[in-house]
Structure 1
Amino acid sequence: MSIPRAGRKIVSNLAELDSPFRILFYTTITGIVVESLTMLLLLLVGQVDSLIEVVIDIFFTVTVVFPAIYLIIVQPLRKQIQDRRIAEVALKIAHAKLERRVEERTNDLAKSNAALLEEIATRKKTDEKVRLLSTALQSAANGIVITGNDGLIVWCNPAFSQMTGYSIDELHGQNPRLLKSECHDRAFYKCMWDTILEGDVWNGVLINRRKDGSYYAEEQTITPVIDEQGNISNFIAIKQDITNRRNAEQEIRQRNLELVTLNIVSTAVSRSLDLPEVLATLQRVLLDELGIPGGIIHYYDESHDCLYVATRWGFPVEKRARFIQTSVENYHCPSAIREKRPTFVPDFRQLPCFPGSPLELAPLEWRACLCVPLLADGKVQGVLDLFSLEDSNEGALPSSSPPRFNGNDINFFNALGNQVGIAIHNAHLYKTEQQARKTADILRAGSAALSQTLELDTILETLLDYLAQLIPFDHARVLLLEDENQFVVHVARGQGPKPGEVYSPSSNETIQTVVTTLKGLVIPDTCMSQTCDRMVCDHIRSWMGVPMVAGGCLIGLCVLEGNKPGLLNSDHLQMAEALVGQAAVGVQNAQLFDQMSAGRERMQSLSRRLVDVQESERRYIARELHDETGQALASLMVGLELLEQEASKPEAVVTGLSDLSKIVNDVLENLHRMAMDLRPASLDHLGLVAALRQHIEAFGEKHDYKIQFETVGVSERLPSNIETAFYRIVQEALTNVVKHAQATRIDVLLEQRDNRLILIVEDNGAGFDFKEKLESGRLGLVGMRERAEMLGGSLEIESVAGKGTTVLVEVPFDQGKAQVF
């Protein structure tokens, strides 16, 4: 639809009408447009200029359709339109000015927008960098901490939180001294603060403590932040946890140190067989290089199942002498020996210990203990005790911390123990060889010296001389067995019992053990022994007893003593047994020689006495023959001469023959009595019992003694040698009673008991000292003993002054094998 230019102008002017007219106009037009769907679409444009155009088109149409309306509306408005034209011109001018100004402002705004976009782009880049840096800081593996100039934490990253064990919230506002470990002194921290307060960067390594109390090492760089005024506003610390690196470095150093230690010990082992030197080297390395505060090296004696202290360190000096030896059962880690493996005890204070145990005497600050067996060829040579201040402090990084005794440490000490075990084994082999040579030389010399003499005291002194070359004893003595119940000291050195003193084995348990078992006994420490008697005095700390056995029989005892514990040991016992065995043979030979000499002297004495007896018997026979038989025969001769002279007188002859017959009878009776005294015929014809009874009856009648004679079990004849010996013993015993006893009663008993013959002659006389009489060489007593010993028996005499004497003869007799002559 076309719209005339004038109409368009009028309608255009209508838009500038006052408000009431404009409202009416728009209301009318709106109603018309609503009726037309086409006009409705034009109303939906929503802009003022477009609406005016629509109004003009509609108004033009309406003026055609409704002229009345056009006239009513337009005419009144014409004047107003003209007025508005003037205003429109002014408005256009103002609009043009405004457009120019808007254009100018638009240009300025475009420039501002361009600058703003550029700034926005720059800020985006900056924010991206900040985000990237923040992400980097948050994700950094190193701990980062920012503090104020007062030292309080204002920011930290998660790595620092993870490093310390504290949460970020817990760390915020805290001072880093929260992590202080007390591993650094004041001088260290003063140097650090002096550096950063001067505005310089500080770099170093700190040992700090986590929230859980464990230690960690950090490599730290602290940078001070300077503001525009030149003052320090903040501190930035970058921290790297180097605990693992430090542990690895420390582990490497430890392993290198262990290799050096093994090399030192191996060199000492291969270079020297001097065990004290090797052990001194080991002790120095363990103490100075490995920092082990205390330890003990024990020797192991498998034969006695005991441990002996070889060396120790770290213990108080006044307590060192209190433990020398211990049995494996009383040792605090017997499994180390029994199972041949290292044993770790985190707190040995919890273990039971016997009085004098090293655990009881250890310093109070010691806690952990590692027991390492010293092995060689699969056998335990000893054990190494290592002590530490704590059981296992895995968080402790300072170099002064005690050893941890972890798995690697135990493997190292096990290898070290094998080295030391080999050293002990080699040293023992060398020492054994040297000692064996020395012992062999001394034994050869001792054997030669002991065999060169048969003098008992010389043999015993020689024994002690050679024992002194082998064994470092302080006191010694040799006791010889006098009878079954008594030992007598023959030689002695040092303190203690002197020669001549008597010992009773039953009164001393220790000696009784040696006597009973016939085995040597050594007690390295008498204070540690439950059965050792204090035999002499309290200062005896080690004791050894060696039985002297010859031919399977005990003949004496050699006792060695020491003032120090451990002075005598099992090796000394073996050497002593070897030398004492040689001496025992010499002592037995000396005793046999003494007995042979005594027997020879007795034989010589008997020979002299026999000659004396023979001469005495001859004198007796000569006296008897001269005094009685000779006188009788002389009287007989005189009587015969008288008969010859009086032959012519029958009565005188008869009387003389009667006298001569009496003289002849007396001579015959005297000769018979003499024959009976020399050897009774009844002994040969009737036997011992009848001969003794006849002799006792005649003896009692002659000397007016009451003699009781009894026999028990003797029903047959005995061998001639036994009968003769018993008869002569009874004859001599009765003669001694008459000469010396002044007794009023005599009892004689002859008894056959099992395979023995027993003869007892007992009186109630004055008694006497048997040993004194025997040593004086009384022929009667010596002869009686000789007769008993010739039969393989014995003769004992018991006599007490004022209580009589008993003679006991006992000889073996087997009825089935006996031959009667």
Structure 2
Amino acid sequence: MSAAGSGARVSAQSRAGTRAGSDGATTPSSQPTPDLKAARQRRRLRWFTVWAPAAFVSLLIIVLILQHRHETLAVHVAILGLVVSGALAFSHFVFTRIQAQEAEIFRQNRYLTSMHATGRLLSESRDLHHALAQVLTGVLEAIGVEAGEILLIEEASGDLVLSVQRGSYPEAFREVSRFKWGQGIPGLVAQASEPIVVHDLAREPRFLRRALTQVGFRAFASVPLKSGDEVVGVMSVAARDAARLGDAEVRLLADLGNQIGLAVGNARYVEKLPALAALEERQRIARELHDSLAQTLGSLQMGLAAIRERLRRVPPPEAAKELKRLEGVARTAYAEVRQEIFGLRTMVSRELDLVPALTEYLTEINRQTGLQIDLRVLDQRATRLPLGFEVELIRIIQEALANVVKHARATRAQVTFDVEGGAARITVRDDGAGFDPEERRGRQAFGLETMRERAETVGGTFAITSARGSGTLVEVRLPLTGLEDRSHES
């Protein structure tokens, strides 16, 4: 048979399976579905298991009656009743076993289908939020519950924040959209890294969303989303019928949660790749500066100092004066390169958190320049920032302090971390000469614009306040909600 003929037959079969609606769309034909056919076959088999042995035994009883006519009719009826009852019992036993096996096969098929669909959606989608919404919809259908949510851990604060909600009564889920570590059912699941299932929400004191119980939800199950050993979020489902959340459903929910957790962890890692690449490049530059330029400048400084000492014995005034000037230039350049190297290395250090790394950096500046710098942390939340935020922030602080050292003629400076209006507020203040921001120009103007661009890169704002004779205040505000609550999106 030719390929064209085969294709024509497939098309004919496809047309036979559907009929066109009035609007041109295809609708299912009146042919019975495979599930309906299977149900009819089960009913026929059930009746066959009842009537086949009953008919056989009835025929046998009729033969016996004909042979033993002296027996009473009541005896024969009783025997026939026992036979039919036995057939019914046998049929019930057989079909109970068949239905149990079918239910198990259905659960396994649902498990494999859900796992496959979840893996496909998470691997193919480029938008994590959209993929999570689709996956959650599939989870609700697979388990047969009415509503669910996915909360992700916000890197800046460490809180669980509602990211995706699907199903009925979304406003009831938004009654509490943020959970601290160990707060409520989701917070406890994240803390213990173990599922929690509640079959009677009305009597559960740890459950914080009373609006869900008021609209009729009785059961609630939460599982951790883990990427390796790290909990990155929590997935929860709610059901009106507590029987919907049995052991099999919770196992399926937990396995799907592991898949989702890996996807979230991978997505966050991919988001950090540009920042990590930049850190590696800065580390390479720091090594090259140290191995080449810094050593050269150091050697030049020592050589100039040695020549000046020799010329002091036979003093040509002009040559000694010029050499002293060159020595000062080399010393300044060497100090600036060392400061840049230390700044680059501080940012790429993976052993230190932000505050210890910054403390080490400020100590080095004090050692090199004599500038007294106080570090004040008024709210720890302002220091718990994502990696990309930390990198840009420490570069801003470095540039601000470099301006203080070079231009302000200050004796003291202060770096402060605080939280104000839902944002981290970081300031660098000095007691120096100050300047008119409207008259800034040259290298200083370029540095101020660079600080502004760095703050805006991570969604923050930059401001500078200064006046001649009044010192300078550099202020950076960075958002604490690095993961926005996008549950209001469709």
| TM-score of the pair, normalised by structure 2 | 0.47
Larger Rg: 1
| Relative contact order higher in (CA < 8 Å, ≥ 6 apart) | 2
Greater share of residues in helix? 2
